[in-house]
Structure 1
Amino acid sequence: MCESNGYDFIADKLKEYLGLKKSPVAIKFVLREDDIPEGVPKADEKLRHCQLVQKASGGSVFYATAEEQMCKGGAAALGLQEAPEKVKTGEFYYGLGRFSSLGSARKTMESIPKIDPIMYALVYAPLEKANFDPDVIIVIANPAQALKLSQALVYTMGGRVEADFAGIQSICADAVAGPFLRRRPNITLGCSGSRQYADIKEDDVIVGLTGENIGCVINALENMS
Structure 2
Amino acid sequence: MSSCDVNGYEEISNRIKDKLGLTKSPVAIKLVLREEDIPEGISKIDESIRHCEMVQKAAQGATFYATVAEEKCKGGASAIGLMEPPEMVKTGETYYKLKRFSSLGAAKRTVDSIPKIEPIMKAIAYAPLETAPFDPDVIVIIANPKQAMQLSQALVYTLGGRVEADFSGIQSICADAVAGPYTRKTANITLGCSGSRKYAKINPDEVIVGLNGENIGCVVNALDAL
TMscore range, shorter length: over 0.9
Over 2 Å off, 4+ runs: none
Q: SS at the partner of 2:54?
A: helix
Partners of 1:124 and 1:185 in 2: how far apart?
A: 18
Residue number among 169, 193, 196 corresponding to 2:195 in the alignment: 193
- Give the structure 2 partner of residue 125 of structure 1: 127
Query: How many residue pairs end up in the alignment?
Result: 224
Partners of 2:98 and 2:224 in 1: how far apart?
A: 45
- Give the structure 1 partner of residue 207 of structure 2: 205
Residue number among 75, 80, 83 corresponding to 2:82 in the alignment: 80
- Give the structure 1 partner of residue 53 of structure 2: 51
When the two chains are superposed, the root-mean-square deviation of aligned CA atoms in Å is 0.7
- Give the structure 2 partner of residue 20 of structure 1: 22
Q: SS at the partner of 1:140?
A: strand
Aligned pairs for 1:70-219 within 5 A: 70-219=72-221
Checking the alignment, whether the CA contact within 8 Å between 1:4 and 1:214 is kept in structure 2 is: no
Partners of 2:96 and 2:214 in 1: how far apart?
A: 37
User: Which whole-Å deviations, capped at 9, do the CAs of 1:99-152 have from their partners, x for residues lacking one?
Assistant: 000000000000000112420000000001101110000000000000001000
Partners of 1:31 and 1:150 in 2: how far apart?
A: 30
Checking the alignment, whether the CA contact within 8 Å between 2:84 and 2:120 is kept in structure 1 is: no
Checking the alignment, whether the CA contact within 8 Å between 1:141 and 1:206 is kept in structure 2 is: yes
- Give the structure 2 partner of residue 10 of structure 1: 12
Partners of 1:223 and 1:35 in 2: how far apart?
A: 36
Partners of 2:4 and 2:68 in 1: how far apart?
A: 35
Partners of 1:110 and 1:71 in 2: how far apart?
A: 18
Q: SS at the partner of 2:140?
A: strand
Partners of 2:119 and 2:44 in 1: how far apart?
A: 20
TM-score, normalised to structure 1, is 0.98
- Give the structure 1 partner of residue 70 of structure 2: 68
Partners of 1:179 and 1:55 in 2: how far apart?
A: 21
Partners of 1:75 and 1:168 in 2: how far apart?
A: 13
Checking the alignment, whether the CA contact within 8 Å between 1:76 and 1:117 is kept in structure 2 is: no
What is the percentage of aligned positions where both structures have the same residue?
69
Q: SS at the partner of 2:155?
A: helix
Partners of 2:137 and 2:193 in 1: how far apart?
A: 22
User: Which whole-Å deviations, capped at 9, do the CAs of 1:27-86 have from their partners, x for residues lacking one?
Assistant: 000001100111010011111000000011111100000000000000000110111100
- Give the structure 2 partner of residue 223 of structure 1: 225
Partners of 2:221 and 2:203 in 1: how far apart?
A: 29
TM-score, normalised to structure 2, is 0.98
Q: SS at the partner of 2:88?
A: helix
Partners of 1:140 and 1:107 in 2: how far apart?
A: 28
